[in-house]
Amino acid sequence: MIKLQTESLTFFSPEDSQDSLGALYFDTGISAGFPSPKEDIQEQRLSLDNELIKNKEATFFARVSGQSMIGAGLDDNDLLVIDRSLEPENNKIAVCFLDGEFTVKRLRVDQDEIWLQPENPNYPIIKVTPDNEFIIWGIVTNVIKKV
């Protein structure tokens, strides 16, 4: 049996929240270098549902708890957008159920072998074997962070 150092994930689905509220959106980029002069700024409404969710019925959210994926930019308490309709592929970040626990890791697929690779050298790479109870729940498509 593999001993895991995993994150606990709290799941949400788009249906858990009320209808999307479009927020104000300015379509001109905001300079991260030198300030730019005011141009014709177009005020619009932006729905994060439309930006982040491609398939509402197959999308859910989970909050990360842990540090195993910090090298991929997934930090403790980040909110993940996960799409169950996407095919798992090598190098994708996936939410998996392994031996009774949920974890988020990068998929490494080599011929008939699957590895779950953390993005923190303090955590072990996990080889998935036929003895494991293993399900890929979905592919991470976006991460929402607090600053």
CATH number at residue 113: 2.10.109.10
Q: What is the pLDDT along the chain (147 residues), one digit of tens a residue?
A: 333 344 555 555 555 555 555 554 555 555 666 665 665 556 677 677 777 888 888 888 899 999 999 999 999 999 999 999 999 999 999 999 999 999 999 999 998 899 999 999 999 999 999 999 999 999 999 999 988
Q: Count up the domains in the chain and report the number.
A: 1
End-to-end CA distance of the chain: 39
Q: What is the pTM of this model?
A: 0.74
Q: Quick check: is 3 in a domain?
A: no
Give backbone dihedrals phi and psi of 40, rounded to 5 degrees, phi first: -70, 105
Q: Quick check: is 46 in a domain?
A: no
Q: CA 81 to CA 120: how far, in whole Å?
A: 21
Active-site residues, by number, are 68, 105
- The residue type found at 1 is M
Q: Quick check: is 114 in a domain?
A: yes
